[in-house]
A and B are shown apart, each in its own frame.
Chain A
Amino acid sequence: MNTTLAAGANLDFSPAQQLTVIALCALTAFISHMALAVFNDGVRPFMLDFIQGRSTRSATTAVSFGLSAGFIFGLGAPMALSTGVLNPWLLFLPTDILGLLAPKKWIAPILGGAWGAVVVFGLNGANDVAHDLPVDFLTAMQQMSTPILFLFTLFPVLAITKQFGRVWGGVAGVLELALVVMTMKIWPNMFAGALAMAVGVLMLIGLAIAKDVRERKAARAEGGGVEEVVLADDPMASLFSSSAARLRKFLPLFMVLGAGVCVLAQMHIFGGGEATSFLIAKGHYSEAAQVDFYRVFGFIPLIATTALASGAYGIAGFTLVYPIGYLLPNPFLAAIVGAAVFAVEVLALSYIGKFLGKLPSVRDSSEHLRSAITDTLQLAILFGSLMAANAMGAGLGILVVGGLYLLNEAMGRPVVRMAAAPAAVIVGGILLNLLYWLDLFTPIKG
């Protein structure tokens, strides 16, 4: 209990860190204003119409707000509050919106920078206030890390089962379980799921590539060539190449962006994925790097194809700069490496698109991976939230948090399911504090 308490309480941003966040938010808002990149994968497909002038700035802003609001308040904010670590939903979804909203080029970075300031100063304040409350629900939320970490380990197994059936899924499950047990026994200091996750992801990619190669051979054997003809007058190819050319034109700006995101990750005040914030908060940087590295495989095809289709890239690129950033020893190196990674990503974008076009099963795998990540995290976050509820208010806590979650379900999920439980913990925590002031609830001693 003591170690988790320390991890949540001692995160104060240094002036250099505050400046980095503010500057980066200004930059991302500017880039969003120029329609060069947005963080929300859901907004990207709508950028093409905006870039080509078929839809207005205000209409695009409305789309961006509609698709991001739930994730900012439901996922980004509770995650940042409970860990004290920043995340992309809290930083980059609002800068997507603010950048698009800004009517003039110079207003975008001002709005973005202002948001960055609100976050760094507000998060510290909110964190301090919440930790001083009689019912400290933020410390209770640290309970989420165990189920998240251990269940996340299983995501390759679920993806393999969905894509390649029960037998392969079973094999992967047994293999991963054996590796977790072995890791715990032989390397007790290593994150137990690290090796299992690596093997699981490699197995999925191996199976997918094998399937694609097999099918291509089969197609060629029965007189292939059909695919090539379709590709020759392919509207996709022309759309993709004009998008890639547009992005390449702004390569220096993207390199600055890559440097900024990588430096932020290097400062260890930022977690890129759902599971990562908790790991960063506890100082487990290499584990965080592994988790975010495997997560990348679920997103490369999505980000590449939406970027090539829309002409707008991802604010964090393929998100490879997160794990690289966590591991680098200093911010200067992070800036150089981050810029280089983004340069390679942007330059390679059209090759990656072409390559993925030939590997349908690999693209399939990435969709199954993302679906599996959601499934594991949904259970983990729900279970972790109930554990947090138990830690802060025992039965009454479980009643309130579980009840709010069920109510959200019954109302047709106004709050995204993934975020419903953590949001319920915060609401429940505030409620328990109110009950304490009314003398109706005695806090549980941790």
Chain B
Amino acid sequence: MKKILTGGVGKVEVTGTVKALALDGIDIVVSSDMDAAMKLRVGQADFYLGTCHTGAGASLGVLVGLMGQPACHTFGRSVPTEDEVNSLLDQGKKVFGFSMDQIDVIAPLIARAIAARA
């Protein structure tokens, strides 16, 4: 079971979107950047999905500072392919930021990729 936390402007929508997929092996919960950073550090959660207007700043919030740049990836306003998401997960990325008007596309993509590994 992989635990995903959400934060940022569209956190309720991201959680709702992923829950609606009813994927096995993942648990997604509304959180916030600061709480998520602490939980990811101590292993109480596995991934963080953040959203904001630009897809980068507010969405990642303090996570870049606390988790380090290597653990974080922002899609900015671009829409990734399934392969890109998989290769990012292979690289050990745990924190993803994307733009809130692309939640409906990107959130399921990441959630499915994580579920496939759970």
Pairwise interchain contact A306-B61, C-beta atoms closer than 8 A: yes
Please give, as numbers and ranges, the residues of chain A lying within 8 Å of B33 by CB-CB distance.
305
Which residue of the partner chain B has the closest CB to A305?
B62
Q: Known: A357-B34, A360-B32. Is A418-B64 also a contact (CB below 8 A)? A: no
Q: Can you name 21 A-B residue pairings with CB atoms under 8 Å?
A: A42-B58, A45-B61, A45-B63, A67-B57, A67-B76, A70-B77, A236-B37, A239-B65, A239-B66, A302-B61, A305-B33, A305-B34, A308-B62, A309-B61, A310-B65, A360-B32, A367-B8, A367-B9, A367-B32, A374-B100, A416-B53
Which residue of the partner chain A has the closest CB to B33?
A305
Interface string of B20-55 (1 = CB under 8 A from A): 000000000000111101100100000000001111
Interface string of A308-350 (1 = CB under 8 A from B): 1110000000000000000000000000000000000000000
**Which residue among B54, B66, B102 has the maximum number of chain A CB atoms within 10 Å of its CB?**
B54
Pairwise interchain contact B76-A41, C-beta atoms closer than 8 A: no
Pairwise interchain contact B9-A370, C-beta atoms closer than 8 A: yes
Binding site for B on A (CB under 8 A): 40-46, 48-49, 54-55, 63, 66-68, 70-71, 162, 230, 235-236, 239, 302, 305-306, 308-310, 357, 360, 363-364, 367-368, 370-371, 374, 412-414, 416-418
Pairwise interchain contact A306-B57, C-beta atoms closer than 8 A: yes
Which residue of the partner chain B has the closest CB to A235?
B66
Pairwise interchain contact B61-A67, C-beta atoms closer than 8 A: no
Please give, as numbers and ranges, the residues of chain A lying within 8 Å of B37 by CB-CB distance.
236
Q: How far is the CA of A239 from the CA of B62 in the complex (A)?
A: 10
* Given pairs A236-B38, A310-B64, 5 additional interface contacts (CB within 8 A): A46-B56, A162-B12, A363-B32, A374-B9, A412-B105
Q: Known: A46-B64, A306-B61, A360-B32. Is A63-B56 also a contact (CB below 8 A)? A: yes
Determine which of A40, A49, A364, A417 lies in contact with B101 in the assembled complex, contact meaning CB atoms within 8 Å: A417
Please give, as numbers and ranges, the residues of chain A lying within 8 Å of B112 by CB-CB distance.
none
Q: Known: A42-B57, A43-B56, A374-B53. Is A66-B32 also a contact (CB below 8 A)? A: no
Q: Known: A42-B57, A45-B62, A413-B101. Is A66-B52 also a contact (CB below 8 A)? A: no
Pairwise interchain contact B52-A42, C-beta atoms closer than 8 A: yes
Please give, as numbers and ranges, the residues of chain B lying within 8 Å of A306 by CB-CB distance.
57-58, 61-62
Q: How far is the CA of A363 from the CA of B77 in the complex (A)?
A: 25
Kindly list the 5 A-B residue pairs having the minimum CB-CB distance in the complex, ordered from nearest.
A42-B57, A42-B54, A309-B65, A309-B62, A45-B64
Please give, as numbers and ranges, the residues of chain B lying within 8 Å of A305 by CB-CB distance.
33-34, 61-62
Which residue of the partner chain B has the closest CB to A69?
B77
Determine which of B32, B41, B53, B57 lies in contact with A45 in the assembled complex, contact meaning CB atoms within 8 Å: B57
Q: How far is the CA of A54 from the CA of B65 in the complex (A)?
A: 12
Q: Judge if B60 is at the interface, Cβ distance under 8 Å.
A: yes
Q: How far is the CA of A68 from the CA of B101 in the complex (A)?
A: 16
Q: Which of B92-106 contact A (CB under 8 A)?
A: 99-102, 105
Q: How far is the CA of A360 from the CA of B31 in the complex (A)?
A: 10
Pairwise interchain contact A54-B66, C-beta atoms closer than 8 A: no
In the assembled complex, the CB of B83 is this many whole angstroms from the nearest CB of chain A, namely 17
Please give, as numbers and ranges, the residues of chain A lying within 8 Å of B58 by CB-CB distance.
41-42, 302, 306, 370
In the assembled complex, the CB of A309 is this many whole angstroms from the nearest CB of chain B, namely 4
Q: Known: A235-B41, A413-B101. Is A42-B66 also a contact (CB below 8 A)? A: no
Q: How far is the CA of A418 from the CA of B60 in the complex (A)?
A: 21
Please give, as numbers and ranges, the residues of chain B lying within 8 Å of A43 by CB-CB distance.
56-57
Q: Judge if B113 is at the interface, Cβ distance under 8 Å.
A: no
Please give, as numbers and ranges, the residues of chain B lying within 8 Å of A42 by CB-CB distance.
52-59
Q: How far is the CA of A230 from the CA of B57 in the complex (A)?
A: 26
Determine which of B10, B57, B60, B62 lies in contact with A40 in the assembled complex, contact meaning CB atoms within 8 Å: B57
Pairwise interchain contact B69-A44, C-beta atoms closer than 8 A: no
Please give, as numbers and ranges, the residues of chain A lying within 8 Å of B32 by CB-CB distance.
360, 363-364, 367
Please give, as numbers and ranges, the residues of chain A lying within 8 Å of B35 by CB-CB distance.
360
Q: Known: A236-B38, A306-B57. Is A416-B62 also a contact (CB below 8 A)? A: no
Q: Which of B3-23 contact A (CB under 8 A)?
A: 7-12
Q: How far is the CA of A367 from the CA of B54 in the complex (A)?
A: 14
Q: How far is the CA of A235 from the CA of B41 in the complex (A)?
A: 10
Which residue of the partner chain B has the closest CB to A412?
B79
In the assembled complex, the CB of B46 is this many whole angstroms from the nearest CB of chain A, namely 19
Q: Known: A45-B61, A371-B9. Is A309-B54 also a contact (CB below 8 A)? A: no
Q: How far is the CA of A232 from the CA of B55 in the complex (A)?
A: 32
**Which residue among B57, B65, B79 has the maximum number of chain A CB atoms within 10 Å of its CB?**
B65
Q: How far is the CA of A175 from the CA of B65 in the complex (A)?
A: 41
Q: Known: A49-B64, A309-B62. Is A367-B57 also a contact (CB below 8 A)? A: no
In the assembled complex, the CB of B113 is this many whole angstroms from the nearest CB of chain A, namely 19
Q: How far is the CA of A367 from the CA of B51 in the complex (A)?
A: 10
Q: How far is the CA of A416 from the CA of B101 in the complex (A)?
A: 8
Please give, as numbers and ranges, the residues of chain B lying within 8 Å of A68 by CB-CB distance.
54
Please give, as numbers and ranges, the residues of chain B lying within 8 Å of A412 by CB-CB distance.
79, 102, 105
Pairwise interchain contact B56-A45, C-beta atoms closer than 8 A: yes
Please give, as numbers and ranges, the residues of chain B lying within 8 Å of A49 by CB-CB distance.
64, 69
